[in-house]
Structures are given as C-alpha cells and as structure tokens.
Amino acid sequence: ARHLEAWGIKTACFLFGSEDRLSPDNQANYQVLSRSGFAATKIHAMPPIIATDLLRHHLMNSSIIVDTLLGTGSSGSPREPMG
C-alpha cells in the first residue's frame, strides 16, 4: 500500500487485527506506513456495522483488491480471527 501510494495511486489500507499481533515483518512495514503519514483504518476498533459498511463501500468502488490477511509465513489451516 505504501509503495502504491508513493506512486500516486489512490490506496486504502485496512488493519483487521491488533497491531501487537502483527508478525515482525508486518510490524516493520506497518511502522513505515504509519510514519509516512498514510494510516491504515483499524477495522477491529470499529463497531461491526460501521466496519461492514466501510468495507462494502471500498470494495464496490475499487479497481483492484489485494488481500494480505494471511501473509507469506502462513502454514496450516487459518486460525481465528481468519478461520
């Protein structure tokens, strides 16, 4: 998201879990993203109805969606909250 934003592409980034549960690689990228002035919307901190409406709006108005919920270090079946 931060690279796309730097190239002038309108981007939205959503954080579904708590920052303290990010992997070390995700944490490093999240900190760079935050310091760049581009903040991720914290879905987990919103009432479910508001989060659902916000996500629906963005998904319906997007040309490209990049799903990075599981990341590159995933193994086995997805666990909560993704499962």
Q: Look at residue 48 and give its three-state secondary structure.
A: helix
- Measure the CA angle with vertex 11, ends 48 and 38; round to 5°: 85
| Single-letter residue type at 53 | D
Q: Look at residue 21 and give its three-state secondary structure.
A: helix
> How does pLDDT run across 54-69, given as a tens digit for each residue?
999 999 999 888 887 7
> How does pLDDT run across 29-54, given as a tens digit for each residue?
889 888 888 888 999 889 999 999 99
Q: Say what the pTM is.
A: 0.72
Provide CB contacts within 8 A for 58, sequence distance 6+: 12, 14
